[in-house]
Structure formats: structure tokens, C-alpha cells
Amino acid sequence: MADEKKKDDSGKAPAGKAPAGKAPSGGKAAAAPAAKGAAPAAAAAPAAAAPAAGAAPEVKEKKLKPSARHTGSAKAARRKMRKKKSQIQARRKKEFTYRGHTMEELLKMPFADIIEILPARARRTYIRGLNSEQESFVRRLRAASEPVRTHRREIPIIPEFVGKTVHVYNGKEFSPVDIKPEMIGHALGEFALTRKSVKHSGLGVGATRSSKFMPLK
């Protein structure tokens, strides 16, 4: 009997140790949930990557018409656009230059240099010299602070004339001309017109034979 018990005890493994090659009962239970949980995670990864790989390219937004940008009718949209444009401030006026020179630079330049940048007709007038009447007008204009009258329509305008008022004779009366920087190089007579546009009215009674007789109403 003793020999049989020893054989039975030798065949049994100790309670605290598990046989080699076999996992404990708790290990199987822990490994099973891990294996089950790994399968959904592996399946979810391709699903998440699929939309990124097959995503459509971004489409640029089309510009909307004024009627589509604003709520309401097209008339209201146009009204809003006009109001927006009216709020824009006016552009700053560009500084005047003549042949690349500002007005201040022109006034500081010597007379000989000013003649060189004038047009050919004006340059020729000053190079040949002014007659006595023209020189008299230039002297009076330089010294005067009030408008000056003249019959000399052919005198070319130079920078020192700018800002003065000249009453130029046009054949009937003296027409006032305020000299501005844009007039440099032109003659005074170009701004005092000698002709007026003709305006015709309707036919009057007796103008033609047919207009002698007016219909009675």
C-alpha cells in the first residue's frame, strides 16, 4: 500500500507549480479576451484608413453673383453694392509734374532751363525774344496782385504765370483766364475762345412759306 501511495504522489504535480508547456487556467481566460479585443481593433484600422485613401479632392468655391451673396432680391443686392462703393473714400489727387519736374522745382529753376523744357513753338518765341508790348505785359503780370488785361493772346504760359488771373481779349470782350499748372507751354489765347457753338431753335412763324399759316385749335 505504501508503494502504491508513493506512485500516486509522484504522478501528481505540486499545487503551486504548473507543468511545463501548459498555461494556468487563468492565463487562458486572460488571453482569450485579448485576442477577441485585438480582432475589432485590427478591423477598425483599415476602415479608418479607407476614407483617407479614397477621399475626393477639395473643390474650390465658386464666386457668387451679387444677388446670391446677399439675401433678398437682386434689386436689394445692387442697392447694397452701390452703398458699399459710395463709402469708399476718394483717391488722393496725384501731384502735378511737368516733364518730370514738380511745381516747386519749376519755380526754382533758372529761366534758361525752363525754356529748354517748353514745347518747340513756345521755346522759339522766348529764344527769338519778346517785342515791347509782350515784355510790358510780362512785367505787369509779375508785379501785379490783381487781374491784368491784355490783347497779347500769343504769349506762351510759363511756370511763374501759374496762380494769376489774366483777362484775355477774345475780339469782343475780355475773358478771364485763371492760369493753372496744366496750362504751362500753351498760349493764353487757347483759353479765351473767339467762337461760340451755334444753337438753332425751332422754326418761327414766317420762317418758311408753309409756316405762315398756323392751324386753328
Query: Residue 211 pLDDT > 50, yes or no?
Result: yes
Closest CA to 163 of 204, 103, 105: 103
Given a contact cutoff of 8 angstroms between Cβ atoms, the answer to whether 151 and 162 are in contact is: no
Number of domains in the chain: 1
* In a domain? residue 162: yes
Burial of residue 217 (CB within 10 Å: 0-12, 13-18, 19+) is exposed
37 vs 132, more confident: 132
Quick one: pLDDT at residue 56? 57
Distance, in Å, from the CA atom of 159 to the CA atom of 102, rounded to the nearest integer, reads 10
Q: What angle do CA 175, 176, 181 make, to 5 degrees?
A: 130
Query: 47 falls in which pLDDT band (50, 70, 90)?
Result: very low
- Domain with residue 132: its CATH number is 3.30.860.10
* In a domain? residue 129: yes
Distance of CA 130 to the CA centre of its chain: 48
172 vs 44, more confident: 172
* In a domain? residue 208: no
pLDDT tens across 9-25, in order?
555 544 444 444 444 44
91 vs 172, more confident: 172
Which of 64-73, 182-191, 196-205 is least confident? 64-73
Quick one: pLDDT at residue 31? 44
* In a domain? residue 6: no
Quick one: pLDDT at residue 88? 61
Secondary structure class of 162 (helix, strand, coil): coil
* In a domain? residue 185: yes
Query: Residue 76 pLDDT > 70, yes or no?
Result: yes
* In a domain? residue 124: yes
Task: List the domain range (segments joined by +) for residue 165.
Answer: 97-191
Report residue 89 as a C-alpha cell: 473714400
Given a contact cutoff of 8 angstroms between Cβ atoms, the answer to whether 67 and 73 are in contact is: yes
* In a domain? residue 79: no
Percent of the chain with pLDDT over 90: 45
**Confidence (pTM):** 0.52
Distance, in Å, from the CA atom of 98 to the CA atom of 108, rounded to the nearest integer, reads 14
* In a domain? residue 84: no
Quick one: pLDDT at residue 74? 85
Mean pLDDT within 177-205? 88
